[in-house]
Structure 1
Amino acid sequence: MLGRLGGWCAKHGRLVLAAWILLAAALTAGTLVFGRPVSNNASIPGTDAQQAHDLMRQGFGPGYDPGGTFQIVLYSKDKPLIDAGRKRAVERAMARVRDVPHVVQVDTPYRVGGLSRNLAIGVITVRLSGNDSGDLAATSRSISAAVEPVRAAGVEAVLADNGTPADKEIKTGSSEIIGVACALLVLLLAFGTLVAALVPVFTALISLGVGLGVIGLLGHLVDVPKQASVMASMIGLGVGIDYALFLLSRHRKLLADGVPVQESVRRTAQGAGGAVFFAGGTVVIALAALMLGGFPLLRTLGWITGISVVCAVLTSLTLVPALLGLLGHRINALRVPFVGPRRDAAHSAASGWAGLGTWVAGRPWRVLVVAIAVLGALAAPALALKLGPLDDGYADRGQDARRAYELMETGFGPGSNGPLIVVGELDAAVAVADPPAPAVKRVGDRLADVPGVTYVSPAKVNVSGRSVLFQVVTRYAPSDPRAGDVVRNVRALGIPGARLHVGGEVAGMADASDRIAERTPSVIGVVVLLSALLLLLAFRAPLVAIKAALMNLISLGAAFGALAIVFSYGLGSGLVGLDPPVSAEGSYLSTLFFTVPIDSYVPLMLFAVLFGLSMDYEVFLLTSVRQAYQRHGDNRRAVAEGLGATGRVITSAALIMVVVFVAFIAYPDPLVKVFGVGLAVAIAVDATVIRGLLVPATMVLLGRLNWWCPAWLDRILPDLSVAGHGEDDEEEPQVTAHSEKALAGAGR
């Protein structure tokens, strides 16, 4: 089927090319016209934090919604905010803010708890009602413009959004350009011709345009996290270029062997296209398993990132054959002098990889021990991985969110950046009174006595008199693990006549961490089992499937170890572009080395992405080894030949992935930096230590058991195979149902 599809696309290249360009242009235009709203909806149904947020919407008045509040942080450097002129300017600004659409309440900074002790910092709280999450960015700009009278009076006014950070959407641009430029350089070195190097880049850009267009428009229908477009760009660029690279390498090899253009495209689509389809499927399956994580934000990030992978697979199976058919032998045009492998150079490179395979095959036990020791050393730091919410104190220093965070910390303490919202359900109704009813006062007093609590706001009773709301400020920043301890202590309070529920950012992330920890084993199990099952269907070899899953888990250990070294130990966090928090400033070294917490859902997301990407290289290497084994039945020789046939291509593909991921470390968002470091290290380790040493050594030791399949399993497995996409094999292997069964018999 894939061969017929590729052949049709090659014959109708102009039509296919025009269709993809028009689709990418239409979707991009759609996002420019209608926008691409984002929303980090971190609600987690069934948790205590979610229950607190639901109670907040019941009778406390308009604007009491976790996503419907803004704060305007004021800083008067030379005069106190109670100065008559400054106070008039603040009141004029508040009057203008009240006229902004959807604003229902504006709380003055001249209230209890609204001014810092030195009277230099104040907070205007703005509550919204009826505002769509997609309009928060526009509302944010309107509110910021409304406070110009304050700025004109010499007071700094910074907007801090306490709700859904739609106005903090990450803008894509420079990192993609850097990644594409570096990938193009690698492709020039790999192919030696400008035309061949441009095909994977062009295909990946069209795929990325379509994927980002779809994701942008989906923001009008579902909550799309702010990191979605960046994750899609990062993964989409990497796999898009890689998949096209595998297809193009196979096609150029067939052309060099004298195969006609149309037949070469058909055979490439049938063989290498099948591997691309299978490899992309493993990535999508791994991302889809995040649906079981129990965290809506994680689930959405997973399936939205999967869209970019699906687009990469579709363009690889249709657009690449169309371009190859249109270009014909001109695929080798515009040769770059002194760059790229000539026929003899390519043969030398393949021989070098084959030589490595032969060397490994001659001493498998020693190589196995050394490789495991190296990987163990890389993975050991992962035991110290520091998980926790990543607050705006680690944001880029040029962002308003960072400035507002620092002003709040200076004026009101670190806990003011992540106050707890405590909602108490009362057994008996109380009246709104001053002083408060005894039941309400009892709750407030108990909250104030909790260790780590520095401030409890005056109580607000809802219209039914059955619920009471407090804002509780702790002495700890949102990213401090001790803030989570305060949440647990508040929830553990036993107050007669009241049941307490704790919401807010800190409580929500604590609940998310607990939910993810509970679901992580099931997600890992599903990903590993489904991926192993796909390998079993493709190769009909249980041991190969199990071994591949284990190898991928090992590469993940190295990735988490690198994350721990950079972020948990802080050995170079400043070198990846993170600005240190205020508490870490003071010396040159403290600006380079400081610890950074990693959001609790990041390791699970990284696991899914990396497991799928690592499986790509496993598929290409195993297929080549199996083809060689089918030709002559010598396992050691097959391992060497398989590594020689795919080593250069896999290395080029991995290098492209690494440079793309490293380029994304330049993004100001800390979460993107974490993904960039983890993905780059994992792919580098996977393509060198694991695929170059560990996999060949284990395959040599297993011998004929690599392809063994018990008779009962051989009978029930469907007759499927991934074959015909060895990159540099000398002859086209004929994989049939008969040869599969013969191979299974040989294994037995």
Structure 2
Amino acid sequence: MGRLPMSGLLGRLGSWCARHGRIVLALWVTAAVLLTAGSVVFAGPVSNNVTIPGTDAQRAHDLMRDGFGPGYDPGGTVQIVLYSPDGPLTSQRRVRAVHRAMDGIRRVPHVAEVQSPYRVGGLAPSMEIGLITVRLKGHDNGKLAETTRRLSEAAEPVRALGVEAVPADASTPADKEIKTGTSEIIGVVCALLVLLFAFGTLVAAMIPIFAALVSIATGLGVISLLGHVVDVPKQASIMATMIGLGVGIDYALFLLSRYRRLLADGLPVHDAVRRTVASSGGAVVFAGGTVIIALSALLLGGFPLLQTLGWITGISVVCAVLTSITLVPALLGLLGHRINALRLPFMGRRKTADEASGWSALGAWVAKRPWSVLVLSVAVLAALTAPALALKLGPLDDGYGDRDTAARRSYELMQAGFGPGINGPLVVVASLDEKVVDRDPAPAVLRLLKEKAGAVEGVAHVGEPVLNEGGTAVLVQAVTEYAPSDTRALEVVEDMRAIRVPGARVHVGGEVAAMSDASARIADRTPLVVGVVVLLSALLLLLAFRSPVVAIKAALMNLVSLGAAFGALSLVFSLGLGSGLVGMDPPVGADDSYLTTLFFTVPIDSYIPLMLFAVLFGLSMDYEVFLLTAVRQAYLRHGDNRRAVAEGLGTTGRVITSAALIMVAVFVAFIAYPDPMVKIFGVGLAVAVAVDATVIRGFLVPATMVLLGRFNWWCPGWLDRILPNLSIEGHEEESPAGEPRKELVVAGHG
């Protein structure tokens, strides 16, 4: 088949952007400013929907919403937790203040019902903690955070008496929305320091930073506005920022490094830009494509929150790729040789070919002793991966949240007053075979449902059955003896679903039940998602390098780096060896000893490993693509595999290391976020990238490529004939003048 001119198209695109730099720059800046302004003025709501179509928890939720009205929908109920440290809530002064607060709450729009803390079950045995339950109707779930804030403000009369009033909304309270800020600044500053060290000039260091910031501003603006159309998870903006900032800087770094080398070799500015985008730009497109493929595969996960989180995060990667192949060439064309202006002393000095870097020496060293390097690398990676066997999955509730948030405080108060199960009650909803007309006395089916629900092991309390207006369904709330993050609570869910009541079909909902169903669905779909990601990524590499061996080996290497990431997560969170060191607060109920504040176990939500797999598989492929591109270019020049591996590592080692340092710095900076989920992602991503860029790309990959020899680039004849040529290296532009490029013919027939 004929060559598809991918490198040529990218080269022409880069050349056009370089010649029309002011137009391209103005378009990107305008788009970023307008989208950012739009996201501020017309910010879309965030969601934390954990329901899954076709599950028992979803059926319970639908029954509850349709049969009992929006007031019984979990998204339509807000609780205000009252705590009186100076005396019981039953004193006359406090009772009057509570009623004044309830009157103020009733005046808040969309409030349908306000239940007093002085009802049965509304006061803790100590009489110091109580619950005001507010049921809403006709409200916008996307604005529940704002409604919760107004309800909390209406409780000011009790605060005047020294009574603490904390909102406990299980859906989307304002303090649970993840906002950007300090960590991004820290990440950008760390990235700038690495770039200054790598390039030695302030102008060159600022280009990747500027391109990444424009990319992130554009992506976040799009994501925020999408909140008006789809349910955008509250984690979407932070995930998009983490990934977008890392890949945005990295992709621009790869292009800039190539451009500076071409300038140093004497090429005119526009020719250097064209060749840069034709070669390194193609690698960026393929690298970004693998990340997007991996994130898109989460659509097969069967979990709406995970599906949306995947493709929305992919938006930031698309923006990073687009800015890299358009905005960066525009900036390079505008700056020309001034890219090396404002040089810093003693930093970023360009080495000659003979003293390329320590990476060239390392490449030659690895090439001389591949078996020893292979065995040692495998041993190190096995040691890093071994702790992954102890990885513990489970729901992560607000009991592990930051102590400075209202969500954590309300969790503590409710557990202290009513027991750990109150923070994750089970909602037992049954549709009745026969319509109930006479409600007094309570029909036998209602009494039997309450009796059997209360007899389930691990249930601490069962409320009174509530019939819907039509008499076709009944609702019972059951409080377990366990916190939502306790795996025993999941066992109670299964036992509750096993009860049989004649004349009723029982379903169990609530946060714990929904997470139980999510775990089961993800476990079922994980093999499919993993298989699709590995297969499509390998296919993309096959198209890029026309080598089945390279494609399969790259997929296996990426899986190895994932093992190291899960091993680190297990050490820090499942085994508790330093969870306090990453800023996690000990769970509710733990003692305040010094050791406890540093070492305690933290459950990992079941969807996090699959999300991490998709993100890390894509990011790991970035470095694989850039390393393989350099090795293949060298091999096509002279046909010596061992020498090509050493040269490829030598030419890419410095830039890959710089890119990895930037990525690690960005991910470590995000560990400072108070949200536990972000901390888990930060640890996993940072460790995986660090291991991938050092042990795997520096030792394991070169050693295996040396051992495989010409088989690295072997391709069966029949496969070579049917594969479209999407080569990303731009060889026609890479061969030195006067040096013929060797054609690679290592097919099955010759």
TM range (shorter): over 0.9
Say if 2:515 is the partner of 1:509.
yes
Per the alignment, residue 190 of structure 1 pairs with 198
Per the alignment, residue 649 of structure 1 pairs with 655
Question: Greater CA deviation, 223-232 or 420-429?
Answer: 420-429
Say if 2:30 is the partner of 1:22.
yes
One-letter code of the match for 1:284? I
Cα distance in 1, alignment partners of residues 71 and 705 from structure 2: 63
One-letter code of the match for 2:311? W
Cα distance in 2, alignment partners of residues 566 and 214 from structure 1: 35
Per the alignment, residue 599 of structure 1 pairs with 605
Per the alignment, residue 370 of structure 2 pairs with 364
Cα distance in 2, alignment partners of residues 734 and 534 from structure 1: 30
Per the alignment, residue 677 of structure 2 pairs with 671
SS at match of 2:745: helix
Cα distance in 2, alignment partners of residues 743 and 178 from structure 1: 49
1:735 to 1:319, Cα distance in 2 relative to 1, 3 A:
farther
TM-aligned CA deviation for residue 745 of structure 1: 4.1
The number of residue pairs the alignment matches comes to 742
Structure 1 segment 123-162 matched on structure 2, within 5 A:
123-162=131-170
Q: Is the 8 A contact 2:297 2:529 kept in 1?
A: yes
SS at match of 1:586: coil
Say if 2:85 is the partner of 1:77.
yes
Say if 2:614 is the partner of 1:608.
yes
TM-aligned CA deviation for residue 62 of structure 1: 4.4
- Given candidates 98, 101, 105, the residue that maps to 1:90 is 98
One-letter code of the match for 1:608? A
Question: Greater CA deviation, 466-475 or 357-366?
Answer: 357-366
Cα distance in 1, alignment partners of residues 15 and 373 from structure 2: 44
Per the alignment, residue 391 of structure 1 pairs with 397
SS at match of 1:341: coil
1:22 to 1:347, Cα distance in 2 relative to 1, 3 A:
farther
Cα distance in 2, alignment partners of residues 62 and 662 from structure 1: 42
Say if 2:321 is the partner of 1:313.
yes
- Given candidates 401, 406, 427, the residue that maps to 1:421 is 427
Task: State the TM-score, normalized to the length of structure 2.
Answer: 0.97
1:707 to 1:147, Cα distance in 2 relative to 1, 3 A:
same
Question: Greater CA deviation, 133-142 or 418-427?
Answer: 133-142
- Given candidates 298, 304, 313, the residue that maps to 2:306 is 298
One-letter code of the match for 1:731? P
Question: Greater CA deviation, 518-527 or 429-438?
Answer: 429-438
Say if 2:736 is the partner of 1:731.
yes
TM-aligned CA deviation for residue 634 of structure 1: 1.2
Cα distance in 1, alignment partners of residues 402 and 652 from structure 2: 41
TM-aligned CA deviation for residue 165 of structure 1: 4.2
Per the alignment, residue 208 of structure 1 pairs with 216
Say if 2:241 is the partner of 1:233.
yes
TM-aligned CA deviation for residue 498 of structure 1: 1.9
TM-aligned CA deviation for residue 341 of structure 1: 2.5
TM-aligned CA deviation for residue 262 of structure 1: 0.7
TM-aligned CA deviation for residue 60 of structure 1: 1.9
Q: Is the 8 A contact 1:714 1:744 kept in 2?
A: no
Q: Is the 8 A contact 1:724 1:734 kept in 2?
A: no
TM-aligned CA deviation for residue 133 of structure 1: 2.1
SS at match of 1:575: helix
Q: Is the 8 A contact 1:190 1:340 kept in 2?
A: yes
Deviations 1:5-40 (A, max 9, x none): 111110111111111111111011111111242111
1:470 to 1:726, Cα distance in 2 relative to 1, 3 A:
farther
Q: Is the 8 A contact 2:715 2:748 kept in 1?
A: no
Per the alignment, residue 286 of structure 2 pairs with 278
Per the alignment, residue 324 of structure 1 pairs with 332
SS at match of 1:582: coil
SS at match of 2:570: helix
Cα distance in 2, alignment partners of residues 549 and 432 from structure 1: 65
TM-aligned CA deviation for residue 162 of structure 1: 2.1
Cα distance in 2, alignment partners of residues 77 and 615 from structure 1: 56
Say if 2:558 is the partner of 1:558.
no
- Given candidates 440, 443, 451, the residue that maps to 1:437 is 443
TM-aligned CA deviation for residue 409 of structure 1: 0.4
TM-aligned CA deviation for residue 155 of structure 1: 0.9
Structure 1 segment 461-480 matched on structure 2, within 5 A:
461-480=467-486
TM-aligned CA deviation for residue 437 of structure 1: 1.6
Cα distance in 1, alignment partners of residues 348 and 11 from structure 2: 29
Cα distance in 2, alignment partners of residues 267 and 632 from structure 1: 21
Cα distance in 2, alignment partners of residues 528 and 713 from structure 1: 19
SS at match of 1:67: helix
Per the alignment, residue 268 of structure 1 pairs with 276
Q: Is the 8 A contact 2:80 2:131 kept in 1?
A: yes
Question: Greater CA deviation, 495-504 or 519-528?
Answer: 495-504
TM-aligned CA deviation for residue 126 of structure 1: 0.7
Deviations 1:23-74 (A, max 9, x none): 1110111111112421112221000000000000233244111211111000
TM-aligned CA deviation for residue 434 of structure 1: 5.0
Per the alignment, residue 636 of structure 1 pairs with 642
1:523 to 1:611, Cα distance in 2 relative to 1, 3 A:
same
User: Structure 1: 5+ residue runs without aligned partners?
Assistant: none
Question: Greater CA deviation, 518-527 or 713-722?
Answer: 713-722
Cα distance in 1, alignment partners of residues 740 and 444 from structure 2: 82
Structure 1 segment 24-43 matched on structure 2, within 5 A:
24-43=32-51
Task: State the TM-score, normalized to the length of structure 1.
Answer: 0.97
Sequence identity percentage: 72
One-letter code of the match for 1:163? S
TM-aligned CA deviation for residue 735 of structure 1: 10
Per the alignment, residue 699 of structure 1 pairs with 705
Cα distance in 2, alignment partners of residues 622 and 295 from structure 1: 35
User: Structure 2: 5+ residue runs without aligned partners?
Assistant: 1-8
Say if 2:666 is the partner of 1:660.
yes
SS at match of 1:124: strand
One-letter code of the match for 2:127? L
One-letter code of the match for 1:395? G
Cα distance in 2, alignment partners of residues 450 and 585 from structure 1: 31
Say if 2:460 is the partner of 1:454.
yes
1:434 to 1:374, Cα distance in 2 relative to 1, 3 A:
farther
Per the alignment, residue 521 of structure 1 pairs with 527
Cα distance in 1, alignment partners of residues 449 and 71 from structure 2: 23
Per the alignment, residue 355 of structure 1 pairs with 361
Cα distance in 2, alignment partners of residues 8 and 681 from structure 1: 39
TM-aligned CA deviation for residue 589 of structure 1: 0.3
Deviations 1:108-132 (A, max 9, x none): 1111111100100000111111111
